[in-house]
A and B are shown apart, each in its own frame.
Chain A
Amino acid sequence: MSEIQNTTNHADLAEVFNNDEARVDWHDETLWWIRSKRDVAVNKISNWEVLRETASQIKHNVLSNLNNYLQQFEGNAIANGIIVHWAADATEHNQIVLSILRKHSIGQMVKSKSMLTEECHLNDFLEENGINVIDSDLGERIVQLAKEMPSHIVLPCIHKKKEEIGELFHQHLGTPAGNADPQFLTETARQHLRDTFLTRRAALTGVNFAIAETGEFVVCTNEGNADMGAHLADVHIASMGIEKIIPERKHLGVFLRLLTRSATGQPITTYSSHFKRPNKGKEMHIIIVDNGRSIQLGREDFRNSLKCIRCGACMNTCPVYRRSGGHSYHNAISGPIGSILAPNLDMEKYADLPFASTLCGSCTNVCPVKIDIHQQLYKWRQVIVKNGYVPAAKTASMKIMDWTLSSPTAYHTAGKAGRLVLEYAPFMVNNKLNPWYKHRDMPEPPKESFGEWYKKNRK
């Protein structure tokens, strides 16, 4: 067991998740239900496809002019009184956050959802440096109490049963044992975090969109936690990846219409807050982070992945994600989009992820900014193989396959052998050593191959 937990391989981690079949079914159905809600919402918008195409083109323009837009955004943000920082990588981002907190002698911070800070492992870094961080999004707070990573970018604790959450609250927040009522648990978190919001002098939020034209940024939440944190604190830090830029304010109309309909089927988040200037006597910081994004921008086949607006639709629809769970991707961003972003950061460590897909293309079909996700997964496989990051077993079997398919004699012999094995010795394949056989039955073998049938029957 410990050996499996120590490996960071999608297939092994998915196997751990699949030990509990009932939970897999529940996870699968829950996410498919969200995907269905997305469909209902999308079908109410008559020009949905036009919106997707427009959003994709706006993002294409952004990527093609990012150098100028970033400088335009920076200039306007500074003119608005915001302090702008640039971080080349995760380490620099974390150092900047720490230095801002140290400057103000702040030892406690409240944070709303930011996948970028997950990517940078900010919480661990701050804790190591004696800063207490409390995540204020309910789902994030739950995984923080459980000492886990979010398993989904929009629904951080979608893998958890309410009974497990009730137990966590019992241990950490003193709720009665055995109470797993979502209403009660949410109210408990509200009371507990209200005190946090009122006592923290620093708040960190993510950024959904940053507007080059005005230097403002937009943060979307349903809970209101980003606003509660930011407006009650003396210092507001907002962390954003360089790809969050959009050119003009009016483009928000396109993206805000797409974001939540794609994510959960809501028409819009409860709060879409536009931060342009710090409040009187307060400080507002923006940290613009690269962390590998400029490299991805240079990879022609993969740069479209930077269009992502983090709605999670590709995860909800993915047959592999739904049945393997977000943690099997061993990366801050899981699912299909995570699998094309992660190899850019570390090709060796994440070599398994582009293979964690059936290439069915459902992700591409639901993506609100039309990223060709499944095609990029396919292309990553080729890059990974070319760079020699494929597991030895896969390389060996591919070589045998290559030899078999390129020699007619070997092909016919192999076909015949396969039919004989299935007929007389099915245990040769129906065993635990063959991973493909797990949860599957082998088909009845045909009596003869098509080639043999054709030889007999042609007139």
Chain B
Amino acid sequence: MTSREKILSAVKTNQPELATLPDVDFLLQEDIDVPEKFIASLTTIGGQVIMVEDHDAIKAFIAENFKHPSRKITTVSELGDIAEYVEDNSANPHSLENVDYAIIEADLAVAENGAIWVSEDKIRTRVLPFITQHLAVIVRREDIVPTMHQAYNKIGSNDYGFATFIAGPSKTADIEQSLVLGAHGARSMTVFLMS
């Protein structure tokens, strides 16, 4: 008998009588004042929210705040004139080692915890939002949902090879519970909230 057969047979013998799977759709009803809560949540966990009208406002903000010459990458075609535009997932992940600033677009954002959701097609190269020193994300106001339940409701059965929720900059409190931003992932997270 293979280990697979051994495990499955032991589980079958030992598992209790079938219990029904509870409904979770009732949890979708929770109501939160969405954009305000999102801003508050993300700010609390060390992120920054900048309100913008359009892509030009984003360009102006970056020109003002990231003057020093550094490698900027974007997966947003409208920003192709201020950063290297990455069109597909053909880039070697190791070639992104020296990226200072990455600007991506979120599929949706969650008010209760300040998380943004991106699937592979929005980041092109999986490692991009982690390896960059600083991360900027464009979120459209109408894409913010109240809680994780509505987030998964919207994600539904979408297909992706990889997708992730990102909530604020990378952090650790492993040394005496002192919070330090910038563990292994991005040191900062800026959300451009577009109306």
Contacts and interface: CB of A to CB of B under 8 A. Distances in A.
B185 A224 contact: yes
A125 B127 CA distance: 30
Given A64-B18, A182-B178, A228 B185 contact: yes
B70 interface: no
A113 to B, nearest CB: 11
Contact of B164 (A63, A161, A271): A271
Nearest to B6: A88
Interface residues of B, number: 72
B13 A298 contact: yes
Interface residues of A, number: 90
A96 B8 CA distance: 18
B15 to A, nearest CB: 5
Contacts, number: 248
A303 B15 CA distance: 9
Interface stretch (B52-60, B71-79, B100-108, B146-154): B146-154
A138 interface: yes
Interface stretch (A7-15, A184-192, A376-384, A398-406): A184-192
A239 interface: no
Contact of B7 (A160, A252, A288, A303): A288
B121 to A, nearest CB: 13
Interface in A226-267: 227-228, 231-232, 242, 247, 249-254, 256-257, 264, 266-267
A256 B94 CA distance: 30
Interface in B124-155: 125-127, 130-131, 147-149, 151-153, 155
Contacts of B3: 86-88, 92, 290
A113 B159 CA distance: 27
**Chain A residues touching B, majority SS:** helix
B41 A223 contact: no
B12 interface: yes
Interface string B13-38: 11111111110100100100000000
B174 A139 contact: yes
A227 B130 contact: yes
A30 B175 CA distance: 12
Closest 6 CB pairs of A and B: A224-B185, A298-B14, A267-B113, A223-B183, A139-B174, A231-B127
Interface of B: 2-4, 6-8, 10-22, 24, 27, 30, 41, 45, 89, 93-94, 97, 110, 112-115, 125-127, 130-131, 147-149, 151-153, 155, 157, 159-178, 180, 182-186
10 contacts: A63-B19, A70-B8, A87-B3, A88-B7, A189-B183, A228-B184, A252-B152, A268-B148, A273-B165, A276-B163
Interface of A: 30, 33-34, 46-47, 50-51, 54, 57-58, 60-61, 63-67, 70-71, 86-88, 92, 136-139, 142, 155-158, 160-162, 165, 182-183, 185-187, 189-190, 193-194, 197-198, 214, 222-225, 227-228, 231-232, 242, 247, 249-254, 256-257, 264, 266-280, 288, 290, 294-295, 297-298, 300, 303
